[in-house]
A and B are shown apart, each in its own frame.
Chain A
């Protein structure tokens, strides 16, 4: 599946299984100008200890409204809802994912940690 970003900024995408659990998180940032475009190929299946698991990418965050994001050329919310239904998500999971909501990984799920920039936001006095 191809994610396209039109315009500079950062997006966060979480990949959930049919139970709504996040198995992979990706942050993609692109910088230069409003005319820059970025493309990223992402998986829709992951190999796990329980076998091959289909996942649905959920757009959790984008930098600003001027930045346009598409999943395979379509609106991310619509694409995510369709994918969630296809992999057998519960209705509540479909609705949450369609609203751009998916749980952050728990400490137990994380083997390691990279700063996501919250320290920088604190320095700017805009802790989120």
Chain B
């Protein structure tokens, strides 16, 4: 039986103590089973807030303002590759037949300052997707 409308969301909030010089990348996934019917991804979006400073501000010139968000549809047959949809997207995808799982992935960069140094970081990344599965 088709699952109908699904919202899938994940959020990661990190707070680092003073004295820590690195913060690893964010890599997080949320997985939801589907029933192998007809699936449309309606929206993929993400938001991020962060406070970041380092001992040398130049080290953070490439600091990202958003996190990377992707949606993967898992198709059951071995020879059918994952269907990959990149966010942000606010229009409906084509309809895909036979997906048995939807995976929402959020990624964000890690940071480091050399010792001796100082890193201050608090950040939160949120991602969500809306998926419709119909018979």
B24 at the interface (CB under 8 A from A): yes
B32: nearest chain-A partner, CB-CB: A36
A128 at the interface (CB under 8 A from B): no
* Main SS at interface, chain B: strand
Within the complex, the shortest CB–CB distance from B54 to chain A, in Å, comes to: 11
Stretch at the interface among A43-51, A64-72, A79-87, A92-100: A43-51
Q: Check A48/B33 contact, CB under 8 A, given A30-B9, A111-B122.
A: no
Structural contact, A27 and B31, CB atoms closer than 8 A: no
Residues 26-52 of A contacting B (Cβ, < 8 Å): 26-33, 35-43, 46-51
The distance in angstroms between the C-alpha atoms of A112 and B49, with both chains bound, is: 12
* Main SS at interface, chain A: strand
Report the contact-size class of chain B (Cβ under 8 Å from the partner): 35 or more
The distance in angstroms between the C-alpha atoms of A103 and B29, with both chains bound, is: 28
Chain B positions near chain A (C-beta within 8 angstroms): 6-24, 27-33, 49, 51, 53, 112, 115-117, 120-124, 128
27 A-B pairs (CB sep. < 8 Å): A23-B19, A24-B14, A25-B14, A28-B13, A30-B11, A31-B128, A32-B7, A33-B6, A33-B32, A35-B33, A36-B31, A37-B31, A46-B22, A49-B19, A49-B21, A51-B115, A105-B17, A111-B18, A111-B51, A111-B53, A111-B121, A112-B122, A114-B13, A114-B15, A114-B49, A114-B123, A114-B124
